[in-house]
Amino acid sequence: MFLPSSNSFRFRVNFGIAAFSLIALFAGIRNLFSVIAMSNLLSYQVYLHRNPVSEYFVFLPVFLILPFLFREKREQNFRRLAQVLCPLLLFYPLLLFAWDNFFFLPLSLILFGWAAFRAGSMAAGPLRRKWEKDRHFSSAWIPYLVGGLYVAGVLWGVSMQVRAHKAMFLLYSDWGTYADSYLNLLKTGGPAWWNWLSTGAHWNPLVNLVMTGAIWIHPRAETIFVMNSAVIYSAVPLAYALSRAAGLSRGMGLFFAIAALLNPTFSHMNLTMFYGFHPVNFAIPLLLLFFLFREKGSRLGMGMVFFLSLMVQETMMIFWFGYGLYLLSRRQWRTGLPLTLFTLFGFFLLSSWILPRICDTDVYPQMLMFHSLGSTPAEVVLSPFQKASAFWSICFQWQNFAFLLTLMIPFFFCVWMSPSMLLAVVPLLAGICLRPSPDVKSVVFQYGVETSTLLLALAVLNVGRIMRKEHSRFPALLNAGMKRYPPKTLGLALCIATGITVLGAYYCFGMTKFIGKHTLESFFQDTDESVLIREMKSLVPPGSRVLSSERLRTHFLFDFSTDIFTVSRKTNDVLVMNLHDSMMDSPDKVEKVRRGIAFDRKVIPLAAYSSNNQQFVLFRIADPMNALPAGKLPKSSFMEFDSIGIPILESDPHFAGRYVHSGGNYLFLWQIRKTPEYDVDVSVLLECPYGTIPCLRAFGFGLFPAYSLEPGSVFRFEVNVPDVRNIKAEVIRRPFSDGKGK
């Protein structure tokens, strides 16, 4: 009972609580699914639908519950409904203050999960008994289903990366950097032995050995993608195995396998924004194996996995330091104290002495991320005292709380059943949250891998503790105002609540295919540029070195020697650039290189390609003794040009534009009237009944900058678009193309 009063008054109170809770439920559902359209996990911003479902939708449950007023046991039914749904009343302040805020997403999932836990506590017991009584089939098929889920996860991850690679979305950093390192390790008479210990400025000898072996077997980009997915989604079968070792049923094991498959952090690790691969993903199977051996009581297995994990990345030392603190908090002095001291010394040895020498740097390479707190790990540790103002301002960045909530949400209720093991990830999370840049504090990057893996393991172990009748105060807190329920019922209720939070977190924060706040289609333009890449490769002579811009370099990596496009050029080099990828290739560096080759007779234009408003150019560095003069654009007199087609109003006096159309074909022409000191892009907007089609071309297809051409030179290109109603065209000055730099 909610209030000690008359039956009539109690009924009215319970009815009111139930009605207002249902209205809050529908209001939360409307805001989550209809009002908030997308979420940005870098800036933690949300984007709203222009035409959400009507506000009257929230009053629908009032009409749905009215018939129950005339049914038997209405007092009991509304009392139970009020007990289950009363946490949803917190939606009212949440909707009032944060309806258009990122924090609405995780906090609403907590409220949904809380109500689901209370409902599960009330209903799971009878349902479980009925299930056990009426079950007519065996659960022996579940391990095979888990295997199928693992294969499905790997195939989805590989498919995602292959599509992103073909669309030229993935960068050379990080996955190309590692692939290049693995290829170099395979070269006869290659790098020194210590390069097997570190790639990408990290300590990762185990990953180097495994990945180099895989590349040796099949030296293609797809090998990286398959290995990456294999270790990420190893969480699926290992979560099932850990569940069984913790004493859970096959059904619960299947549940946690699905939860691992839908973990938002893991779903992003294939693309890792656009970096494509990181060795820390190998921590996923190793950490889960550690806890699996821990449940089985195998000290040998735990020791082997512990040793191997130290070879994945130097930050694993920080994780095990935190785990040592957890053991000390449990008064396990004989294990915790040596582990804490060993890992603390090991990390400072790796970061302060070994890695700087291997990477040929003065300090630990990752210290750049902590530039405002210190230049060494010791200075960062002492920053609360030496740089208190900077430390606390970074510590309380609101993005830290958004990041931690996003990590916690999938297994929020399971974790807090016995949260002491969270101490293991506190030092690791501190290292992430103390980075000044808020953009890196996101589940789309690899920084949450170890934490998410521990949360998955801890969720499984805590449900096992509940099922074994180990005491926890958290269920009683969640079920305040309700009677006590047996452990098995609470375990099932935990799974029900976790099912809500896992599905909700995947919908709000995961990398999904079609539905969700963060879909693959919204992440990058899914186009296949394989034919274009093959054409560009066919123009590169065997044995040539390819100097390339960021997104293009990985496509030449396995067939040619490569380097960044800004390095010094040598004879027989081939220069390949994308002139419109300003986000990844610094525009001032691109224009500096272009100006350097525009008047160099050794640089011969090979080809230019336009695709999806991206401009690709290829040049060959010829022998100066045999180099022939490069061709230029055709020329015409001003009078002859002005007699062609329809004029385009042009505000830049250095250029004149015209176009000719025949059916759906449009020929655009721009003539240089006076040689400018800069280069331009030509922008054309074609307005059609079905929308506006943009078309962007670099002048002279990027091979011949405008500042390198004589007056009268004509640049032309065709566009085939039917039913054009209006045309807007102009030349746009390319930043930094005047040679003055920043």
In the structure encoding, which two tokens stand for residue 418, read together? 């016995």
Please list, in sequence order, all residues whose beta carbon lies within 8 angstroms of the beta carbon of residue 581, skipping any fewer than 6 positions away.
Answer: 549, 550, 551, 614
Which CATH number does the domain housing residue 676 bear?
Answer: 2.60.40
Q: Determine the pLDDT at residue 583.
A: 66
DSSP letter for each residue of 409-441: GGGHHHHTTSGGGGGGGHHHHHHHHTSS-GGG-
Q: Determine the pLDDT at residue 2.
A: 45
Report how far residue 269's alpha carbon sits from residue 734's, in angstroms, rounded to the nearest whole number. 35
Q: Among candidates 238, 242, 149, 261, which has minimal Cα distance to 462?
A: 242
Chain-centroid distance of CA 18 in Å reads: 39
In the structure encoding, which two tokens stand for residue 487, read together? 């452990």
Report how far residue 275's alpha carbon sits from residue 296's, in angstroms, rounded to the nearest whole number. 37
Pure H helices in 73-204: 74-85, 91-98, 104-134, 142-166, 177-186
What is the DSSP code (8-state) at residue 645?
A: S
CA distances (Å), 550 to each of 175, 216, 527, 582, 586, in order?
Answer: 12, 24, 18, 10, 10
Q: Determine the pLDDT at residue 307.
A: 97
In this structure, are 12 and 65 located in the same domain? Answer: yes
HEC sequence for 315-374:
HHHHHHHHHHHHHHHCCCHHHHHHHHHHHHHHHHHHHHHHHHHHCCCCCCHHHHHHCCCC
In this structure, are 617 and 668 located in the same domain? Answer: no
Report how far residue 444's alpha carbon sits from residue 45's, in angstroms, rounded to the nearest whole number. 14
Residue 53, number of CB atoms within 10 A of its CB: 15
Which CATH number does the domain housing residue 607 bear?
Answer: 3.40.190
In this structure, are 668 and 613 located in the same domain? Answer: no
In this structure, are 512 and 474 located in the same domain? Answer: yes
Boundary (domain end) residue, out of 462, 492, 523: 523
In this structure, are 13 and 143 located in the same domain? Answer: no
The answer to the question of residue 64 being in a domain is yes
- Give 176's Cβ-side CA count (13 Å radius): 24
Q: Which helix (H) or strand (E) holds 201?
A: none
Report how far residue 376's alpha carbon sits from residue 363's, in angstroms, rounded to the nearest whole number. 7
CA distances (Å), 88 to each of 84, 111, 612, 706, in order?
Answer: 9, 6, 47, 64
Residue 19, number of CB atoms within 10 A of its CB: 19
Q: Among candidates 514, 520, 551, which has minimal Cα distance to 275?
A: 551
In this structure, are 167 and 238 located in the same domain? Answer: yes
The answer to the question of residue 391 being in a domain is no
The residues with which 697 forms a beta bridge, in sequence order, are: 682
Report how far residue 414's alpha carbon sits from residue 538's, in angstroms, rounded to the nearest whole number. 56
Q: In what order do the strands lie in the sheet with 691-698?
A: 691-698, 680-688, 726-733
Q: With H, G, I as helix, E, B as strand and everything else as coil, classify residue 135.
A: coil
Task: Classify 723 in phi/psi space as left (phi over 0), alpha (psi -120 to 50) or beta.
Answer: left
Place of tokens 């589940």: 443
Exposed / middle / buried, residue 727 (Cβ in 10 Å: 0-12, 13-18, 19+): middle
Report how far residue 31's alpha carbon sits from residue 635's, in angstroms, rounded to the nearest whole number. 60
Total residues belonging to the chain = 742
Place of tokens 């002095």: 333
In this structure, are 670 and 582 located in the same domain? Answer: no
pLDDT in tens, 186-235: 986 667 888 899 998 899 999 999 999 999 999 999 999 999 999 999 99
In this structure, are 140 and 198 located in the same domain? Answer: yes
Q: Among candidates 412, 149, 148, 413, which has minimal Cα distance to 258?
A: 149
The answer to the question of residue 115 being in a domain is no
Pure H helices in 396-529: 398-408, 412-415, 426-433, 449-467, 474-478, 487-509, 520-523
The answer to the question of residue 350 being in a domain is no
Expressed as residue numbers, the domain containing 673 is 638-733
Look at strands 646-648 and 655-662 and give their pairing.
antiparallel
Please list, in sequence order, all residues whose beta carbon lies within 8 angstroms of the beta carbon of residue 120, skipping any fewer than 6 positions away.
Answer: 489, 492, 493, 494, 495, 496, 497
> Do the beta carbons of residue 547 and residue 564 sit within 8 Å?
yes
CA distances (Å), 26 to each of 38, 56, 62, 409, in order?
Answer: 19, 10, 10, 21
Report how far residue 78's alpha carbon sits from residue 607's, in angstroms, rounded to the nearest whole number. 74
Q: Determine the pLDDT at residue 739.
A: 76
C-alpha angle with apex 386: 382 to 391, nearest 5 degrees?
75
Boundary (domain end) residue, out of 523, 544, 567: 523
Please list, in sequence order, all residues whose beta carbon lies within 8 angstroms of the beta carbon of residue 577, skipping any fewer than 6 positions away.
Answer: 548, 549, 552, 565, 585, 590, 593, 594, 616, 617, 702
> Do the beta carbons of residue 672 and residue 654 sit within 8 Å?
yes
In this structure, are 290 and 162 located in the same domain? Answer: yes
Q: Report the interhelical angle of 398-408 vs 449-467 (nearest 10°).
A: 50
In this structure, are 477 and 546 located in the same domain? Answer: no
What is the number of domains present in the chain? 4
Boundary (domain end) residue, out of 491, 523, 555: 523
In the structure encoding, which two tokens stand for residue 536, read together? 């560009």
Q: With H, G, I as helix, E, B as strand and everything else as coil, classify residue 210.
A: helix
The answer to the question of residue 285 being in a domain is yes
Q: Determine the pLDDT at residue 362.
A: 83
Q: Among candidates 178, 401, 409, 162, which has minimal Cα distance to 280?
A: 178
Q: Among candidates 740, 600, 604, 602, which has minimal Cα distance to 678?
A: 740
Report how far residue 124's alpha carbon sits from residue 141's, in angstroms, rounded to the nearest whole number. 24
Report how far residue 187's alpha carbon sits from residue 139's, in angstroms, rounded to the nearest whole number. 50
Q: Using CA of residue 485, residue 486, residue 490, residue 496, what is the dihedral sign?
A: negative
Residue 677, number of CB atoms within 10 A of its CB: 11
Report how far residue 318's alpha carbon sits from residue 485's, in angstroms, rounded to the nearest whole number. 40
Report how far residue 737's alpha carbon sits from residue 702's, in angstroms, rounded to the nearest whole number. 12
Intervals of the chain under pLDDT 70: 1-7, 69-72, 128-137, 188-190, 582-583, 625-631, 741-742
Please list, in sequence order, all residues whose beta carbon lies within 8 angstroms of the beta carbon of residue 345, skipping any fewer than 6 positions away.
Answer: none
The answer to the question of residue 345 being in a domain is no
Q: Using CA of residue 475, residue 480, residue 486, residue 491, what is the dihedral sign?
A: negative
Report how far residue 111's alpha carbon sits from residue 29's, in angstroms, rounded to the nearest whole number. 11
Q: What phi, psi does 511 have (nearest 5°)?
A: -85, 105
The answer to the question of residue 380 being in a domain is no
In this structure, are 606 and 671 located in the same domain? Answer: no
The answer to the question of residue 361 being in a domain is no
What is the DSSP code (8-state) at residue 737?
A: T
Q: Among candidates 124, 259, 274, which has minimal Cα distance to 584?
A: 274
What is the DSSP code (8-state) at residue 630?
A: P
Please list, in sequence order, all residues whose beta carbon lies within 8 angstroms of the beta carbon of residue 123, skipping any fewer than 6 positions away.
Answer: none
In this structure, are 569 and 658 located in the same domain? Answer: no
Longest Cα–Cα distance of the chain, Å, equals 105
Residue type, 125: G
